[in-house]
Amino acid sequence: MGCLSTSWTSLPISLFLLLMFIIARQYALETEDEQINTMKLSEVLDKLINNATYDKRLRPNYGGKPVDVGITIHVSSISAVSEVDMDFTLDFYMRQTWQDPRLAFGEVDLGLPNKISSLTVGVDYLDKLWKPDTFFPNEKRSFFHVATTHNSFLRIDKDGTVYTSQRLTVTATCSMKLQLFPMDSQRCKLEIESYAYSTDEIAYYWCSRDNNNCTGIKKEEIELPSYAFDDRNICMNRTVFKNASGSYSRLIVTFIFDRESGFYMLQIFLPSGLVVVISWVSFWINRDSAPSRTIIGVMTILTETHLMTGTNRRLPPVSYIKAVDVYLGFSYLLVVLALIEYAFVAYTKVCRDVMKMLQCDGLNSEEE
């Protein structure tokens, strides 16, 4: 009985030890598989850019049909729209995709337990690949974001499709027409083009060549202090730019900024109108009160001058007349005429007084 009791007691301990051995063995196998997977993937990545089969200086299908490059843009913010500098600044994610058959790995025996449909790798790998030389023709300045690391992304699908994403801030020129300022709408363009490859080598498309219903531009909820801006204010276009060196595929996205005139109504139009009304107060002041009427006239003229110079200081020195110039010029004319009116009244009063004095002197001479 004692031996039988001892064997029954040790049975749970043996089962527990066996279970722990199985778990440890499974964990070791999984760790080994992960190490094998990593080694295999490294070998595949090295094989894809083997110097014997891959030359990043040559585009895919060199000498054949042009490379189709799909572009999508996700605008995260528009930080500035400057009338003085004639430019606008936006922060966005630009995503490019193209197919490079030399990077296809679907037919490669990876020797992995799970089939892999795509490889997401560090952006340093992108420097070893051919990529389109995309640039912005109307760019003034731009930079990549590198906090806390380089804001870029690279994925390679098994059929050789390359997908990249980069975060940029670009300041682009915008030829603004200010004739209707401040009740105007400005159309600012961001142009995308290849610097060196002509239409025979690269063709740009919004999203992709086969996806005509794609929305190539997306944006966050953007609020601008001086403009109304929503999804209806974005237009996309695809064209061909021609110059002396050849024809180049170009994508154009147009941002339409509808100016909110409320600020200018309160800061310019309303004060200017009140100054004109104040200049009319002199009409009800006795014409003999020369200092009062003169001070009102001069002060209103100086105020209108300050409004005109202050308004134009915010705008570029254009050679045409703006709507705000018409309004301020008419207001300035009214206050000047109010001062001239007093000068005319004072002059006619002096003439009448002189005539009366002469008439009185003539009557006195006749009586004598």
The answer to which of 68-77, 227-236, 297-306, 321-330 has the lowest mean pLDDT is 227-236
| CA pair distance 303, 339, nearest whole angstrom | 14
| CA pair distance 60, 67, nearest whole angstrom | 7
pLDDT value of residue 28: 45
pLDDT value of residue 288: 79
| CA pair distance 189, 204, nearest whole angstrom | 17
Query: Is the pTM of the predicted complex or chain greater than 0.85?
Result: no
Q: 336 with 105: CB under 8 angstroms?
A: no
Identify the CA nearest to 75 among candidates 47, 60, 62, 94.
94
CA-to-CA separations, 110 to 47, 114, 225, 231, 348, in angstroms, rounded: 11, 9, 55, 45, 106
- Look at strands 118-121 and 185-194 and give their pairing: unpaired
Count the Cβ atoms, other than its own, within 10 Å of residue 149. Answer: 9
Residue written as tokens 């001892």? Answer: 6
**pLDDT tens, 71-104?**
999 999 998 999 999 999 999 999 999 999 988 8
Structure tokens that stand for 268 in this block: 């310019």
| CA pair distance 263, 226, nearest whole angstrom | 8
Structure tokens that stand for 302 in this block: 């100086």
Is 263-367 in CATH node 3.40.640.10?
Answer: no
Q: 179 with 44: CB under 8 angstroms?
A: no
Average pLDDT along the chain: 84
Structure tokens that stand for 159 in this block: 């059929």
pLDDT band at 1 (very low <50, low <70, confident <90, very high): very low
Phi, psi of 341 (to 5 degrees): -60, -40
Q: Per the CATH hierarchy, to which homologous superfamily does domain 67-260 belong?
A: Neurotransmitter-gated ion-channel ligand-binding domain (2.70.170.10)
**pLDDT of 235 higher than 60:** yes
**pLDDT of 362 higher than 80:** no
Identify the CA nearest to 205 among candidates 96, 362, 359.
96
| CA pair distance 277, 329, nearest whole angstrom | 15
Q: 160 with 101: CB under 8 angstroms?
A: yes
| CA pair distance 146, 168, nearest whole angstrom | 10
